[in-house]
C-alpha cells in the first residue's frame, strides 16, 4: 500500500478523517471517471481520493453545510480542474449527477454525522458543553432549528425523539423538565435542564445522547440516508463501490438493510412459491461484518470510537 494519508494541517484541525486507511483500501480509487465524496466536511477524504484519482479522474464533493463547502474549495484549491463542489443534501445525489450529465460514478463515500469543526463551533449549537444558540442545522435549507423542535413539539413527541434517536433512558423526565421551563434559547439552558433531570453519574452521557437525538431530528438524517443509499447504488458503474461510515446504530442498520436488499435477487417471502417481485441484485457486499477502528485510532481520536464501515460493489 502506498497511501499517503496526509490531510493538510488545516484539515486536521477542522476534522480528523476516521477509518481513512481502511476505507481507501476498500473504495480503491483509480485514475479515471467520477468519484463522489457525499460528506466533504473538512475535505480530508476528498484530498486523499483526489491524490489517488488525478490526473484522469474527477471528484464531486458534496456537503449540505455551505461553510464546509467554502472551506473545501479553499483547502483543495491545488486540485482545481479535478474537483467540483456542490452545496446540497446528498439525498439529492441522482439530480446532482443528472444536472451534470454524469451517467455513472466509480465510487462514493458517505462519512455520516457532523464534523469536529461543526461540533466545536459554539454558534452552530451542536455542543452541550459550549454555550450557543439552539440551532443544530447542518445546512441553511433546513426548515426547523433545534429551538423550534425544543419549544414547539409536545412532551410525548420529545420523549419519542430522545428515545428513538438517542436511546436515552431518562427521556420522560428530561422532556417533562423541558416543557416546564420553555421557552429555551441556548444550549446552556438545555444542558442545565438535562443535567438537573438525571442522576449525576448519567449527566454527560444524557446530554450527549439528547443533543445527538435533537440534531438527528433537526436534520432529518435518517430519511436523507434512506433516500440516498439506493440512489447512490443505482448511480454506480459496474465494479463501482460505495463506502458508508456510520456513527449511530440506526444509521448502520439502514446501511446494512439497504446493502442486504440490493445484494439479494428475489425479495418475495418464503410463502411465495416462485418469484413475482422480479428484484435483481445490484451489489456484492465486501464487508461481511462492519469494519471498526483500531484501538490505536480510537486512542488517538476518541470521536472514532463508534464508527462502523460497510462497503459494497456494483455488479
Residues near ligand SAM, by CB under 6 A:
15, 17, 39, 41-45, 62-65, 68, 89-91, 111, 113-115, 138, 224
Q: Please identify, using beta-carbon distances, which residue of 90 and 211 lies nearer to ligand SAM.
A: 90
In the complex, the smallest distance separating the C-beta of residue 72 from ligand SAM, rounded to whole angstroms, is 8
In the complex, the smallest distance separating the C-beta of residue 49 from ligand SAM, rounded to whole angstroms, is 10
In the complex, the smallest distance separating the C-beta of residue 240 from ligand SAM, rounded to whole angstroms, is 19
Q: Please identify, using beta-carbon distances, which residue of 8 and 176 lies nearer to ligand SAM.
A: 8
Q: Please identify, using beta-carbon distances, which residue of 171 and 246 lies nearer to ligand SAM.
A: 246
Q: Please identify, using beta-carbon distances, which residue of 169 and 227 lies nearer to ligand SAM.
A: 227
Q: Please identify, using beta-carbon distances, which residue of 24 and 62 lies nearer to ligand SAM.
A: 62
Show the cell assigned to 170: 431518562
> What's the sign of the alpha-carbon dihedral 115, 116, 120, 125?
positive
Q: Please identify, using beta-carbon distances, which residue of 34 and 170 lies nearer to ligand SAM.
A: 34
Measured from each CB, the residue nearest to ligand SAM is 41
Other Cβ atoms within 10 Å of 114 Cβ, number: 24
In the complex, the smallest distance separating the C-beta of residue 52 from ligand SAM, rounded to whole angstroms, is 14
- Cα–Cα dist 146/220, whole Å: 12
Amino acid at each position: 500500500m502506498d497511501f499517503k494519508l496526509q490531510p493538510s494541517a488545516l484539515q486536521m484541525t477542522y476534522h480528523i478523517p476516521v477509518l481513512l486507511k481502511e476505507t481507501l483500501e476498500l473504495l480503491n480509487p483509480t485514475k479515471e471517471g467520477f468519484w463522489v465524496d457525499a460528506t466533504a466536511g473538512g475535505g480530508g477524504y476528498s484530498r486523499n481520493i483526489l491524490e489517488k484519482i488525478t490526473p484522469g479522474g474527477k471528484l464531486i464533493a458534496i456537503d449540505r453545510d455551505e461553510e464546509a463547502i467554502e472551506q473545501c474549495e479553499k483547502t483543495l484549491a491545488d486540485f482545481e480542474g479535478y474537483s467540483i463542489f456542490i452545496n446540497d443534501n446528498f439525498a439529492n445525489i441522482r439530480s446532482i449527477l443528472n444536472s451534470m450529465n454524469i451517467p455513472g460514478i466509480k465510487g462514493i463515500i458517505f462519512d455520516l454525522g457532523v464534523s469536529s469543526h461543526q461540533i466545536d463551533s459554539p454558534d452552530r449549537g451542536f455542543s452541550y458543553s459550549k454555550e450557543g444558540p439552539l440551532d443544530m442545522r447542518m445546512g441553511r435549507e433546513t426548515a426547523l432549528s433545534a429551538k423550534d423542535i425544543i419549544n414547539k413539539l409536545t412532551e410525548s413527541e420529545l420523549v419519542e425523539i430522545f428515545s428513538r434517536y438517542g436511546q436515552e433512558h431518562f427521556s420522560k423526565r428530561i422532556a417533562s423538565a423541558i416543557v416546564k421551563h420553555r421557552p429555551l434559547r441556548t444550549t446552556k439552558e438545555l444542558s442545565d435542564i438535562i443535567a438537573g433531570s438525571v442522576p449525576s453519574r448519567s449527566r454527560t452521557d444524557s446530554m450527549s445522547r439528547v443533543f445527538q437525538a435533537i440534531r438527528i431530528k433537526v436534520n432529518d438524517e435518517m430519511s436523507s440516508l434512506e433516500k440516498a443509499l439506493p440512489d447512490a447504488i443505482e448511480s454506480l458503474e459496474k465494479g463501482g463501490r460505495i463506502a458508508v461510515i456510520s456513527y449511530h446504530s440506526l444509521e448502520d442498520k439502514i446501511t446494512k438493510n439497504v446493502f442486504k436488499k440490493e445484494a439479494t435477487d428475489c425479495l418475495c417471502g418464503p410463502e411465495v412459491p416462485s418469484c413475482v417481485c422480479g428484484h435483481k441484485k445490484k451489489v456484492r457486499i465486501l464487508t461481511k461484518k462492519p469494519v471498526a477502528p483500531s484501538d490505536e485510532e480510537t486512542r488517538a481520536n476518541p470521536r472514532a470510537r463508534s464508527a462502523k464501515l460497510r462497503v459494497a460493489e456494483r455488479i
